[in-house]
Amino acid sequence: MTQAFQSPGFAALAAGRAVETRLVEERWQAVAWDLGTDRRRVVTDRPGGVHLSEIEPDGDAIWWFDADSDERGRWRREPFAGGPDGEALHGVPAGRPYGVAFDRTGALAAVAVGVDGASHCYVGPPAGEARLIGSAPGYLSLADLSPDGRLLALGGRPDGDDAVLLWRTDGGPAVSAAGGGGLRLWPIEFNPLAVHDPELLLVVEEEERYTVATWRADTGLRRYPGLSFDAQISAGWYRGPRGVLIQHERAGRSRLLLAELDPSPVVRELGTPGGTIHDLSCAPDGTLHCVWSRESTPPRPLVLRPEERAEAGTEARTGAAVRSGPDPDHPGLDLDGTSRGRRWTPRPYGRIHSFVSTPPGRGPWPTLFLVHGGPATHDRDSYDPRVNILVGHGYAVVRTNYRGSTGYGTRWQHEYDYRVGLAQIEDLAAVRAELVADGTALADRTGLCGFSWGGYLTLLAMGVQPDLWSLGMAAQPIADYPATYRGTTPALRALDRQLFGGSPEEVPERYRAADPRSYVHRVRSPVLLVVSRDDERCPPEQVARYAADLRRLAVPHELLRVDGGHYSRRTADHRSVLAAMVRFAGQAWPTPPAPPHRPPRGDRPGGTAQPMEGGEQP
């Protein structure tokens, strides 16, 4: 999600029926799409929007997750053609959505939910009573239900004892495959054509490679060394008993490959324009429906028919670069004069990759680092409306894939000696120094803007490197790491234990070194803090305490409270936050060097600046 543009979900046994998550009056809602008539019916009208939807394999009904702003809720179900909606499975408690799956015909459904720090998995007939199959502490994601409905595949921590769990729905003994010792495992999905002998597709990470693998009861785990990659992949079964589709994410770009697993893997790369595949799904006829974008192009559908257009693909060796699209090493120029380029900053431990967008004309410019969160994601050659808006207001915008980012191999993601936060802001500082030296960035006007874990890095850098950054804007951030650990979700606690090598009780010195509150007394430049009232991932109270610290220290700051949880599903919420950031940056750096131009429609921050709660104006 890691980026949530959604392609349609298709009914495997009803070729003309699909579900979409579509923007309806500025909220995302579930929509039933009849491909035969090309008619769409809006299924939901939830005030907070809907971000997860599914369709039963026989196309009888649409499912959607009916969540509150704290991300908790229940799956609901409504007939595809319309009619009263109701609970999709009766007896399942409200919780966080940890996965949904169906057997081959849709006679049996499975859901996993997170409740009170534990994961619970239920099965039952759609609209019928659910049966609890199993529970476990912490976070387990439901990967799939086997075609015969007898086996559930769940994923825990990829390097843990619960990396892959196989639970029998009849209550029989469970099977597990453990990670650890440098091995990480992700269960993906069961082979839909292996009806009586379930075969699970997995991704294995070991020895700095990501490899496609399968599991069967009689053969165990089988790796396919011919399908091994140097950066993150995902995979899915595709057309035929041995066909697999692979998505490879490397250095900010996506590519798609088709392979036959047996007798020996033959790989064919599908021709896709250079950029990012945000989401993809497969229709029953084999057509691939992708959502694609690149830096200069807003997201749009990309439909691929691999069997009809085999000539469009290129034979590829695994690990080869995508050849189509603009040359990623040469800057491009948009029609509005925005320049977009890539930068590789050399360091002893590797090269730091950044995407740099600059306004028309010559620099140096006031420069904002738009710091990605996660941290297990990366900035890509993909459209980001925030970049356009900020460049339109005269700022150079830098998106840096610091250590810890995905897309550059396992060492880049994991090896920084548990120096959480500190290693990442060192990388940001290195890129900043290079941009100042080459005349891109104004030395006294470089700032940080981040959301969530990117907001955390923003606050940490404002205290650790106060001489470098003259502005910090952090939305839904971690401001007090130990407090966030205690208040956040089980999945994120597990992530933090992985990042730090333990809990705050086990390695307190690492958390203290990584905690923005440890350095708040050194902050002196203006800070904008945005918190959401129902945010369980980064709770608001710990940010409010950081704001109180700033107030006590007389640091110019502002605290903006918003609704919608950690990920609001209302576009207006995001526009208002960005509008506040643009206003705050304009006040902190009061003389923008270039008049703003109007960004494209749909990118404009909505409304005028609103009065903010609490804090002082910078």
Partner 1 sequence: MKRRSIQNDPIGTPERDRGAVIVQNFALDITKAAPVAPALKGQPKPKPESKK
Of 191, 228, 293, 424, which one interacts with partner 1 (CB under 8 A)? 293
Note whether 76 binds partner 1 by CB under 8 A: no
Note whether 278 binds partner 1 by CB under 8 A: yes
Note whether 88 binds partner 1 by CB under 8 A: no
**200 SS3 class:** strand
Of 355, 383, 481, 500, which one interacts with partner 1 (CB under 8 A)? 383
Stretch that binds partner 1, among 165-173, 293-301, 341-349, 350-358 (CB under 8 A): 293-301
Give min distance, CB of 66 to partner 1, in A: 16
Stretch that binds partner 1, among 355-363, 543-551, 563-571, 579-587 (CB under 8 A): 563-571
Cβ(55)–Cβ(11) below 8 Å:
yes
Q: CA neighbours within 13 Å on the CB side: how many for 520?
A: 25
Q: Which segments of 25-155 are extended strands (E)?
A: 27-34, 39-42, 53-55, 61-67, 73-79, 86-87, 96-102, 109-115, 118-124, 131-137, 141-145, 151-155
Report d(CA 299, CA 277) in Å as an integer. Answer: 9
- Strand-by-strand arrangement of the 220-229 sheet: 184-190, 199-206, 209-216, 220-229
Q: Which H or E run includes 542?
A: helix 540-552
Cross-strand pairs, 24: 27
Note whether 169 binds partner 1 by CB under 8 A: no
- Of 114 and 482, which CB lies nearer to partner 1 in the complex structure? 114
Using CB under 8 A, which residues numbered 144 to 163 contact partner 1? 144, 155, 158
Of 128, 160, 271, 586, which one interacts with partner 1 (CB under 8 A)? 271
Which of 239, 240, 236, 268 is CA-nearest to residue 255?
268
Using CB under 8 A, which residues numbered 478 to 497 contact partner 1? 478, 489, 491-492, 494-495
Give min distance, CB of 436 to partner 1, in A: 26
Taking each helix axis from N to C end, the angle separating 571-588 and 385-392, rounded to the nearest 10 degrees, works out to 30
Of 79, 160, 226, 326, which one interacts with partner 1 (CB under 8 A)? 326
Using CB under 8 A, which residues numbered 571 to 610 contact partner 1? 571, 573-575, 600, 602-603
Note whether 549 binds partner 1 by CB under 8 A: no
Note whether 203 binds partner 1 by CB under 8 A: yes
Report d(CA 459, CA 237) in Å as an integer. Answer: 43
Note whether 45 binds partner 1 by CB under 8 A: no
Cβ(133)–Cβ(119) below 8 Å:
no
Using CB under 8 A, which residues numbered 427 to 466 contact partner 1? 450-456
Count the Cβ atoms, other than its own, within 10 Å of residue 478: 32
Q: For 535, phi and psi rounded to 5 degrees? A: -90, 110
Give min distance, CB of 603 to partner 1, in A: 6
Stretch that binds partner 1, among 168-176, 300-308, 342-350, 358-366 (CB under 8 A): 300-308
Give min distance, CB of 9 to partner 1, in A: 6
Give min distance, CB of 416 to partner 1, in A: 17
Report d(CA 495, CA 389) in Å as an integer. Answer: 32
Using CB under 8 A, which residues numbered 23 to 42 contact partner 1? 23, 26, 28
Cβ(488)–Cβ(543) below 8 Å:
no
Stretch that binds partner 1, among 139-147, 212-220, 464-472, 523-531 (CB under 8 A): 139-147
Residues in the chain: 618
Please work out the total of residues on this chain that contact partner 1, with binding judged by CB under 8 A.
121
- Of 470 and 542, which CB lies nearer to partner 1 in the complex structure? 542
Q: Which H or E run includes 530?
A: strand 527-532
